[in-house]
Amino acid sequence: MSLLLAVWALLLARSRRKHVRRGRDLSAEAQAANSRTQAAEGRARTEVQNRQTAESRMKEVNTREAELLDEVRHLVSERLPALALHLISSHYPVPGLLHKNLAGSEAAQLLDALTDAVSDIVLKERRRIDAAARAALRGATQESQALSYRLQTNIVGLQHEFSAPPRLTQSLLESDHLNEQNLRLTQKSAIVCGGWPGHVRKDTYVSEVVSGASSRLRGFDRINIVSRLGLSNIGVVGRAAEPVAVVCAELMANALEHSRDDLMVDVSLFQTGNGSVCITIDDAGKGMTSEALARGRGLISGEQQEVMLLELGDPPSMGFAAIGRLVADYGLHVSIDTSSPYGGVRAVVSVPENLLTSIDENATPPSVMAPQPAVAPQAHKRPSTADSPAHSPAPAHSPAPTAAAELPQRRRRFSATATPDDAAAVAPRPLDPENTGAIWSDFQSGLTNGRSVTDSE
């Protein structure tokens, strides 16, 4: 029995060890299976996450692609046409990006670089075309100017024919005035295109320069010129006489154009304390808008090195552009503002001292057409006790003496050989009666028959 019990105990122990070992194997297999299951679930979750990530990336790519396509369409349909208008006038705004979230991205930088490149290409091509147009116009205007000057010389020669009947003389005067207007328009175009004024003068009185500029305009009879120059022998040097005349003519033409036909344009000449001569032009027209005023100031300042014809409108208004080029070339100063005492626009032309000169009135007498200097009002002397009727019986109709109480008057400078009595009497300088009468008759005829419709700029 003991032996059997020992054998049975041994077998039982071996069986227990076997079951324990098998249980361990089963537990290991279960853990391994559980690990494999967890790994499979992890791989499944990773696959799901990867699939979701791929789907989100695909959606993001599709969204970005759609945004880029929208930006390209926006660039073609909105931004580039607006850029073309902006290059013509800065008042047209250029739209930005359609999708703000693209700001700062590489795509946005490429789109901006494209607009910059298109802008540069358009400006270069526009300058090339404008330069070709200005060259062609400059050549045409130079030939037209030469022909107009020849025609003017022929008309002036015919005007001096004393045998011409009055009707023919009147027709010659009208033809001369029409040729002057055509010459002004041609001259203005030539200056804007880079040409020179086309006319060389000698030293000319300031008053004659201004009056000659007014004679080039339709409606010249509406221009009232008053000279307040202290010295009547002030002139403009020859090289600047024609440019000053062109500037004054364009400003007076602008004043006539923007005022009614029954309104006058006042032109005043005076000398400032620094030696320059100022020419003020006041009109009673409708004035200028702030936008037009700012644009006009920019053109006449002479700071714009190159003004393209395409920027001057259709048809181009070349008056202010011509003034700006002359200001830059000759050192003049021109300003415009809305402070005219008549409610319109005031333009001021300042001729610096280095462009002024003194002209010998005996060697070169001023034209009878030039405006006389304004005379200060005279104050009559009150009768004193010594001049009373009790001490000095004088006729009741005789005027009281005023020589001692006269205010200083601005007179033309006479020669040094003139006597004090002649200077005090302000006697006019002797002129040729026949020549003066003929010139004044021609001027009166032209004044009577001048047209009142002004020419546009």
Return the pLDDT at 245: 92
Backbone angles phi, psi at 328, to 5 degrees: -70, -35
pLDDT at residue 278, as a whole number: 92
Residue 104 above 80 pLDDT?
Answer: no
| pLDDT of residue 231 exceeding 80 | no
> Residue 189 — pLDDT band, cuts 50, 70, 90?
confident
Specify burial of residue 284 (Cβ count, 10 A radius: 0-12, 13-18, 19+): buried
With contact defined as beta carbons under 8 Å apart, do 257 and 457 qualify? yes
Q: Which helix (H) or strand (E) holds 188?
A: helix 166-192
Q: For the ranges 42-56, 89-103, 380-394, which has the lowest average pLDDT?
A: 380-394
pLDDT band at 390 (very low <50, low <70, confident <90, very high): very low
Query: Which of 247, 249, 267, 237 lies closest to 353, judged by CA?
Result: 237
| Residue 267 pLDDT grade (very low, low, confident, very high; cuts 50, 70, 90) | very high
Backbone angles phi, psi at 224, to 5 degrees: -110, 110
Query: Which one is predicted more confidently, 375 or 34?
Result: 34
Give the mean pLDDT of 397-418.
38
In this structure, of 162-166, 208-212, 326-330, the range with the lowest mean pLDDT score is 162-166
Structure confidence by residue, pLDDT tens digits, 149-161 = 888 888 888 777 6
pLDDT at 219 over 80: yes
Q: Worst-scoring range by mean pLDDT, 12-16, 215-219, 220-224, 417-421?
A: 417-421
Mean pLDDT value of segment 180-204:
83
Produce one character per residue of 19-38: b if its CB has 16 or more CB atoms within 10 Å, e if not. Answer: eeeeeeeeeeeeeeeeeeee
Looking up tokens 């626009």 gives: 345
Most confident range (mean pLDDT) of 54-63, 154-163, 395-404 is: 54-63
Alpha carbons 359 and 29: distance in angstroms, whole number: 127
The mean pLDDT value for 161-190 works out to 80
For the segment 27-46, the average pLDDT, to the nearest whole number, is 84
Per-residue confidence (pLDDT) for residue 402, from 0 to 100: 40
- Identify each DSSP E strand in 58-184 by its residue range: none
Provide, rounded to the nearest whole percent, the portion of the chain with pLDDT above 70: 79
The residue ranking higher by pLDDT, 299 or 419, is 299
